[in-house]
Amino acid sequence: MPETGNALEKPRVGLFVTCLVDSIRPNVGFAALALLEAAGCTVEIPLAQTCCGQPAYNSGADDATKPLARAVIETFEPYDYLVAPSGSCAGMIKAHYPELFADDPLWRERAEKLAAKTHELLSFLADLRGFRPRNVLCKATAAYHDSCSGLRELGVKAQPRALLDAVEGLELRPLEGEETCCGFGGTFSVKYSDISAEIVGEKARNVEAAGADLLLGGDLGCLINMAGKLRRDGARTRVFHAAEVLAGMADRAIGEEA
Amino acid sequence: MTAPAQDFHTRVEKALRDPQLKIALERTTGNARRKRAAAVAAWPDFEAARAAACAIKDHAIEHMATYLEMFENNARASGAQVHWARDAGEASRIVIDLCKASGAKVVTRSKSMLGEEIGLPHALAEAGLRRVETDLAEHIIQLAGETPSHIIWPAAHRTREDVAKLFDQYHHEKPEGHDVVSMVASARKELRADFFTAEVGISGANFLVAETGAICTITNEGNAELTTTPPRVHIVTAGIEKIVASTEHALQLTRLLVRSATGADLTQYTTFHCGPKRAGDRDGPEEFHIVLVDHGRTRMLAEMPEMLRCLRCGACLNHCVVYRAIGGHAYGGAYPGPMGSVLTPVFDGLEQSRDLPAACTLNGQCKQVCPVDIPLPTLLRHWRARSFRAGHEPKAVSLAITIWAFFAARPRLYRMAQAAALPALRLFAKGGWISSLPLGSGWTATRDFPKPPRQSFLAAIRKGATR
């Protein structure tokens, strides 16, 4: 569902960094910040942010989710846009906040207003800012995994590929089952870890078969899941969030130490 | 009929340890996915047809009482006898009573998932009737003493090689070879006599057509016609959600149903059964009974009407990463996969089936391939919310979620906990990875976890870092 037109000259973007990036991989946050600034946005990072509440929501804990959702709405409604480097978290805010407050007209209206200006990072850069990376070099072959929420809730598919296409030296390779779930599913990966492991096992085999140097994607949860399995299986594929490559900040892959 | 849900994890463990199961499932579902994709790609107005199908079903669901009444009147006018069953037990009792009244000893059955749902195989056995499954896959699982593991291919869990062993062991005349043609010939021979000695034939229905009172069956093997035509009595069992307004609607839905199920344009047999044998007809049953089953469907009308659209095509099973990993038996209900995980709590109660809606990554591929656009992830999440509210979730899980949400709703506390947790987690790491986590052993049993940073992104930002 790409939107175009009415792009503000220099919009104020609230960067919702997501709890996983915040705790596990700050480099994705810095990459998102750099990309948004390069795309002509004024970026602010509200320090009061924590999590969109998706783990609670998908566990059926609606009452525990609501305070988190209200906090995100209050924190980010002053901005022109909320942008998150994750289709899953952006999808939670865009598709599910209005559902969460279905019986609460006041909050539902606020949720809908925020939903309308919430975007996943890569599609925001490509569709709303017409952005392409310039003078970014990455000599490697890469496979791209389409994370499910971004793909099916937000229509993120062509945008990351168009952006990566502008990276010099990067060659995208086809990945068998690129639209098939990696088995992460948030708390699913812990609650039903044996099923999750079976699913990511198949994904890791497909990634290895693609024979690319890098595995890229737009959602850190899925990337950690696949990277962790690839590493356990002894694969050499290096895993990055696409934003890290686009920002020229792909020095250390997930799990690589300085 | 339903295995206790407490055993979900045990059943999953068993399934995951079975390498043959993985091979069998991948052959069947992989084939189905490829063929469906080709069928959809070759149909330029697929999305329009899908929207029209939704409208057809929604119309029938909205006016269900009216159309059911119309169906009953027209079916009676055609000479059929219509029976209503509130629940599974009542539906089975009606069928058994009809069998007994006809003096039947042998009953043939063509594949019907509703029959499984209401526990008909078990009820027939208890009543002392010899049940002969005539669908090839149902025949296979009857020999093996199993239940269906897929709603379109009941023996999807068995490889061809398995089936050869079963036929060698149980068929009166062993197959001449283990190629598909010889094995099918062997099954035909095995079933032939029963088709003509059975006093009662039982089938399901894909559609109940209100304007004509006919029922429609969509099959490939011809066994349904041999089940419903020669015996003196034909009994149809059908869920009330099978109602459609007209023959035209039934045929429009058939186009989507068949392509979604097998990728074919049509099945070999699309049959409309309307009333018993009439004077001058050369064949057909003398008695034609239709048992209309509610079994939770009027409750669904109020709570999740979209689920009543389901055509039972099986596309959501074939595209589900969880189904493909664990197979149908692990679900423990009559219907597996995403649609089964929505339906089983309706039939068996949420408390004992709460694992089914929970054991899903909510990746949405089921909804994407559903020919009638059922919002399966939304309905699964609906059950999760119900289960959480009712206190059915494991205490440790609901406590963990509640504690985590408490912290996440208090940014300052959250930052303090995070600042303490990150360095602590780093102690478990070797190189850049953690390969064993005390509270995350499920994850680290098969995967590594990346070593977290010294400080969070927001902590770094607060200190003025730029990368």
CB within 8 Å: B404 and A71: no
Q: Which residue has the tokens 């009482």?
A: B65
The pLDDT of residue A9: 86
Question: What's the token pair of residue B237?
Answer: 């069992």
Strand order, beta sheet including A238-241: A168-173, A137-144, A214-217, A238-241
Quote the strand ranges of B150-239, DSSP E.
Answer: 200-203, 207-209, 214-219, 233-239
| Alpha carbons A74 and A155: distance in angstroms, whole number | 26
Let me know whether A238 and A140 are in one domain: yes
- CB atoms B408 and A60 under 8 Å: no
pLDDT tens per residue across span A189-208: 999 999 999 999 999 999 99
**Residues A238, A160: one domain?**
yes
Q: Which of residues 92-121 of A touch B (CB under 8 A)?
A: 99
pLDDT tens per residue across span B81-140: 999 999 999 999 999 999 999 999 999 999 999 999 999 999 999 999 999 999 999 999
* Helical H segments across B263-328, by residue range: 297-303, 315-318, 321-326
Strands (E), B191-259: 200-203, 207-209, 214-219, 233-239, 243-244
Report yes or no: A197 at the B interface, CB cutoff 8 Å: yes
Cα–Cα distance list, A43 to A29, A39, B247 (Å)? 12, 10, 59
Q: Is residue A255 part of a domain?
A: no
Is A251 at the interface with chain B, CB within 8 A?
Answer: no
CB contact (8 A) between residue B359 and residue A192: yes
No. of helices (H) and no. of strands (E), chain B: 24, 13
Residues A123 and A155 placed together within one structural domain of the fold: no
- Smallest CA–CA distance, residue B83 to chain A, in Å, is 39
Under an 8 A CB cutoff, do B401 and A61 touch? yes
Nearest to A59 among B384, B422, B458 (CB): B384
For residue A252, which amino acid is it? R
Give the one of A61, A65, A231 whose C-beta lies nearest to B448's C-beta.
A231
CA angle B41/B46/B50 to nearest 5° reads 140
- Check CB contact of A19 with chain B, cutoff 8 Å: yes
CB contact under 8 A, A56 and B401: yes
Quote the tokens at residue A195: 């099923």
**CATH code, domain with A173:** 3.40.50.11810
Q: Considering CB atoms only, which of B321, B325, B449 is closest to A228? A: B449
Interchain pair B433, A34: CB under 8 A:
no
8 Å CB contact between A215 and A172: no
Which of A178, A181, A241 to probe the B interface (max B CBs under 10 A)? A181
Q: What average pLDDT does range A215-231 have in this prediction?
A: 98
Strand runs (DSSP E) across B139-213, as ranges? 200-203, 207-209
* Nearest chain B Cα distance for residue A128, angstroms: 25
Q: Which amino acid is at B87?
A: D
A29 to B461: CB separation less than 8 angstroms, yes or no: yes
- Which pLDDT belongs to residue B1? 43
- Our CA-based measurement puts residue A251 at a distance from the nearest CA of chain B, in whole angstroms, of 12
Cα–Cα separations (whole angstroms), residue B56 to B49, B247, B249, B273, B311: 10, 12, 7, 21, 12
- Tokens for B455? 């400080």
Separation in Å, CA of B422 to nearest CA in chain A:
7
Across the interface, do A189 and B365 touch by the CB < 8 Å criterion?
Answer: no
On whether residue A139 sits in a domain, the answer given is: yes
Sheet holding B433-434, edge to edge: B429-430, B433-434, B449-450
- Please say which residue of A75, A100, A127 terminates a domain: A127
A257 at interface of B, judged by CB pairs closer than 8 A:
yes
Contact residues, chain A, for B381 at CB < 8 Å: 57-58, 60
How far is A90 from chain B, CA to nearest CA, in Å? 15
Mean pLDDT of chain B: 96
Q: How far is A39 from chain B (nearest CA, A)?
A: 17
Residues B240 and B258: their CA atoms lie apart, in Å, by 21
Tell me: the pLDDT tens digits for B424-455?
999 999 999 999 988 888 999 999 999 999 99
Is there a contact between A34 and B467 if contact means CB atoms under 8 Å apart?
yes
CB B295 within 8 A of CB B87: yes
Q: If we measure between CA atoms, which residue out of B290, B296, B333, B305 comes closest to residue B86?
A: B296
What's the pLDDT at B438? Answer: 80
DSSP code, position B379: H
CA distances from A90 to A115, A247, B377, B435 (A): 9, 20, 17, 30
Nearest residue to B294 (alpha-carbon basis) of B85, B64, B92: B85
Q: Looking at the structure, tell me whether residues A109 and A159 fall in a common domain.
A: no
Q: Check the CA dihedral A168-A173-A175-A179 and report its sign.
A: positive
pLDDT digits (tens, 9 = 90+) for B180-222: 999 999 999 999 999 999 999 999 999 999 999 999 999 999 9
**Domain residue ranges in chain B:** 5-299, 411-462
Percentage, residues of chain A above pLDDT 90 = 96
In B, minimum Cα distance to A88 occurs at B363
Question: Is position A112 within any domain?
Answer: yes
Query: Which of A65, A98, A127 is the endpoint of a domain?
Result: A127
Instruction: Locate B180 and state its tokens.
Output: 């598909």
Domain boundary among A74, A98, A127: A127
Residues B457 and B462: their CA atoms lie apart, in Å, by 9
pLDDT value of residue A5? 44
Q: Is A183 helix (H, G, I), strand (E, B) or coil?
A: coil
Residue A88 inside a domain? The answer is: yes
Helix B247-262 with B46-62: angle, nearest 10 deg: 130
CB < 8 Å to B456, chain A: 22-23, 26
- The 10s digit of each residue's pLDDT in A128-169 is 999 999 999 999 999 999 999 999 999 999 999 999 999 999
C-beta separation of A151 from A144 below 8 A = no
A251 located within any domain: no
A146 touches chain B (CB under 8 A): no
Would you call B424 exposed, middle or buried from its count of C-beta atoms within 10 A (0-12, 13-18, 19+)?
A: exposed
A191 and B385 within 8 Å at the Cβ level: the answer is: no
Answer whether A256 touches B (CB < 8 Å): yes
Contact (CB<8Å) B405/A27? no
How far, in Å, CA of A161 to CA of A165, rounded?
Answer: 6
Q: What is the pLDDT of residue A68?
A: 98
Chain B residue numbers touching A67 (CB-CB < 8 A): 405, 409
Residue A62, in any domain of the structure: yes
Q: Are A172 and A143 in contact (CB under 8 A)?
A: yes
Q: What is the pLDDT of residues A163-173, one digit of tens each?
A: 999 999 999 99
The reply to whether A60 and A86 lie within a common domain is yes
- Give the domain extent around A152: 133-246
Each residue of A78-127: pLDDT tens digit?
Answer: 999 999 999 999 999 999 999 999 999 999 999 999 999 999 999 999 99
Tens-place pLDDT, residues B305-358: 999 999 999 999 999 999 999 999 999 999 999 999 999 999 999 999 999 999
pLDDT band at B6 (very low <50, low <70, confident <90, very high): low
Whether A24 and A115 share a structural domain: yes
| pLDDT tens column, B289-303 | 999 999 999 999 999
Residues A66 and A154 in one domain: no
Name the domain count of chain A: 2
- Structural contact between residues A65 and A57, judged by C-beta atoms closer than 8 angstroms: yes
In a domain, residue A152? The reply is yes
Shared domain check, A146 and A123: no
How far, in Å, CA of B40 to CA of B256, rounded?
Answer: 9
The residue of chain A with its CA nearest to that of B432 is A255
Question: Is the ipTM above a cut-off of 0.90?
Answer: yes
Phi, psi (rounded to 5 degrees) for A242: -55, -35
Interface-testing mutation among A44, A57, A59, A97, with chain B (most B C-beta atoms within 10 A)? A59
The per-residue pLDDT for A7 is: 59
Chain B residues in contact with A24 by the CB 8 A cut-off are 450, 452-453
> Sheet of B200-203: strands edge to edge?
B81-85, B287-293, B233-239, B200-203, B106-109, B130-133
Q: Which two tokens stand for residue B187?
A: 């099954």
Q: Is residue B215 classed exposed, middle or buried when 0-12, 13-18 and 19+ CB atoms within 10 A define those classes?
A: buried
Say yes or no: A52 contacts chain B, CB-CB below 8 A: no
B40 vs A1, A233, B261, B338, CA distance in Å?
21, 36, 11, 21
- Chain B contact set for A255 (CB, 8 A): 431-433, 448, 450-451
Same domain, A51 and A108: yes
Tokens of B374: 């059922």
Rg (CA), chain A: 18
Q: Hey, are the CB atoms on A257 and B431 less than 8 Å from each other? A: yes
Amino acid at B436: S
Q: Comparing C-alpha atoms, which of B397, B456, B149 is closest to residue A21? A: B456
Question: For residue A48, how many other CB atoms are within 10 A of its CB?
Answer: 14
CATH code at B5-299: 3.40.50.10420
Contact partners, residue A131, CB within 8 Å, separation at least 6: A35, A38, A39, A125, A163
Q: State yes or no: pLDDT of B400 exceeds 60.
A: yes
Q: What residues of chain B lie within 8 A of the CB of A249, using their CB?
A: 467
Q: Is residue A157 part of a domain?
A: yes
Name which of B381, B397, B435 is nearest A191 (Cβ-Cβ).
Answer: B397
User: What is the least distance, in Å, from the CA of B344 to any CA of chain A?
Assistant: 18
Confidence (pTM): 0.96
Contact A214, A237 (CB under 8 A): yes
